[in-house]
Amino acid sequence: MRKPDVRGFFDTVTATWTYVVYADGDEDKRCAIIDSVLDYDIHSGRTETVSAARVIDFVRKHGLEVEWILETHIHADHLTASSYIKETLGGKTAISKHILKVLETWEPIFHNEVDTPLNGQQFDYTFDDDEGFSVGSFEAKIVHTPGHTPADTTYIIGDAIFVGDAMFLPDVGTGRCDFPGGDAEDSYDSSRKLFNLPDDFRMYVGHDYPPEGTRNPQCMAKINEQKLNNVRVHEGISKDDYVSKRNKDDEGKDVPNLLLPSIQVNLRAGEFGHKTKDVQYVKFPVDKI
């Protein structure tokens, strides 16, 4: 199997990994960008594009053509730069059709129906479960891997899989399951879907939170490494044991600092919504979260 090249970019503020997937030296220069980051300061309400600029510079330096700008899910801890990247480089924004479930959950809280379409049309494309597509000359496929949120999606591109927050590196485990629509049982089932992939497939995670004093941030582990060593979902742990510990550890967790602006912007595919007298806003619902 041909293996795509993967370049990861780590955002230290949100511990997020963004990826460019491409074929170095291939005549086909089409690429995908996965889980981009728009810098946002919650105190001042100001945005910057430092993180996105690193990705854009890489794409331009390598003469790549952006075919897809993909989201693994609606992130609660960072704003996506998908709209900015599309405006700058082109490409199609895409996410799983399960975004509709997330819209159903959050729109009654934010009441942003005027500028946040409930049918998902703000994305250029929404994938069906198990749908095949391509990234340049590489065959690709999506797999629905819910648990962290109901819309979590894994992208399989060649031998590289991009799991978002469905699973983290072996010494970190899995994504929390206490957000609306999250479910620890689904999280366990999703890990088993991933473990059915070939042992030598490369798993790229959406975040990395290295245990203190152990190592620098990393982005990839092979499937067989996850099966053997993942502290939460390694082979041999029962579903009941996983669900019990996951739910216990998630109880009383703090809300992510950027949850409220992130959800609103990410549900719009990276847009801040309609302006009021040339000013854009995010809403902070009181006593609703």
Give the domain ranges of the chain.
Answer: 5-266
Write out the two tokens for 15.
């511990």
Residue 289 is predicted with a pLDDT of 80
What's the order of all strands across the beta sheet hosting 65-70?
5-11, 16-22, 30-34, 65-70, 92-96, 125-127
Q: Which residues of the chain have pLDDT under 70?
A: none
Residue 120 is predicted with a pLDDT of 95
Distance separating alpha carbons of residues 229 and 247, to the nearest angstrom? 20
Q: Which residue's structure tokens are 């934010």?
A: 110
Decide if domain 5-266 falls under CATH 3.30.1490.70.
no
Residue 25 is predicted with a pLDDT of 83
Residue 47 is predicted with a pLDDT of 97
Distance separating alpha carbons of residues 85 and 69, to the nearest angstrom? 8
Category of 220 on φ-ψ map: left (φ > 0), alpha (ψ -120 to 50) or beta: beta
Residue 184 is predicted with a pLDDT of 98
DSSP-derived pairing of the beta strands 65-70 and 92-96: parallel
Which pTM does this prediction carry?
Answer: 0.96
